[in-house]
Amino acid sequence: MLNARKKIIVIALGGNALIQMGEAGSIAEQFANTRKSIEGIVHCIKSGYDVVITHGNGPQVGDLLLMVELSQGKAQELPLGVCVADTEGAIGYMIQQTLVNRLQKERIRKCVVTILTQVIVDKDDPAFKNPTKPIGSFYNEIEARKLMDEKGWAMVEDSRRGYRRVVASPKPIEIVENESVKRLMEAGEVVIAAGGGGIPVIVEKDGSLEGVDVVIDKDYASCVLALDVKADYLMMLTGVDKAYIDYAKPNQTPLGAITVKEAERYLAEGHFPEGSMGPKIQAAVNFIKGGGKCAYITGIDKVEETLAGKSGTKIVP
């Protein structure tokens, strides 16, 4: 059993944890941003929480896919699933090293472990027939049609900036390595898992796992992982300090504490788009309905204030 004396929190770092708006995304910038982003995590550890960390990987996967495209004919092409695995390891390394260094300064003796995490999706998920998640570079119409013919890619025009490849984003069902995460937590370690939503896999008829070239939403995967480890809290860190209804409109309203029923009503009314706040709110609802105590949506620099009830959006039963 997991340590019953401590409360468990799963903290999901958003994309701006590593790359800020307007930055080139160099490794030096990503390490600098990571050092800032772990302050809230360190606060949770010092406060006695058992911590599991998840993170996004959108910009990093985009860069890796661009490298793959530029190296065509010179190196073997990497499928999307492998690119997810590569970035999960690389980002885990950055968070892991940064957090270890900080904990040493705080004289906290804890190991930090990154687990390359496979996440099971249903091969019959309707998302496979309706790819909607844009990834990779922009192309003009002629290039896009050529890629659709030669590689069978699905492509759509993206905000008049050109055409982009779109892939399926099926819902996560199960974390393959969830028992390993639990055992490390029992040993008192900090675990980094389900990075970028995890490496997507399906289960074949014989029970074997097979990778698929799709992407899994990081917040949905974080919810599944949080329920697997019986976390008390799920905290999703993003670029805003709270969720809002009528966001970016003159009458926008910040949300403090809301119930699951209210969250579902706001979702149904279309306040939270699928491409931004929608998955976070739905993940919070799923977590509470699955047995979690409460979920938070807040800014990366607002963790301490949010746990103290002074910031963030809190979703409760």
Catalytic residue numbers, as ranges: 15-16, 133, 218, 280
Give yes or no for a contact between 287 and 233, defined as CB atoms under 8 angstroms apart: no
For residue 235, give the H/E element and its range: strand 233-238
266 CB-near residues (< 8 Å, 6+ apart) = 245, 255, 258, 272, 281
Helix (H) or strand (E) holding 2: none
Q: Which two tokens stand for residue 206?
A: 């014989």
Per-residue DSSP letters for 33-70? HHHHHTHHHHHHHHTT-EEEEEE--HHHHHHHHHHHHH
Contacts (Cβ under 8 Å, ≥6 apart) of 20: 29, 33
**Looking at the chain, how many residues does it have?**
317
Contacts of 103 (CB under 8 A, 6+ apart): 42, 45, 109, 110, 112
Instruction: State whether the Cα torsion 145-147-152-158 is positive or negative.
Output: negative
CA–CA gap between residue 128 and residue 197 (Å, rounded): 16
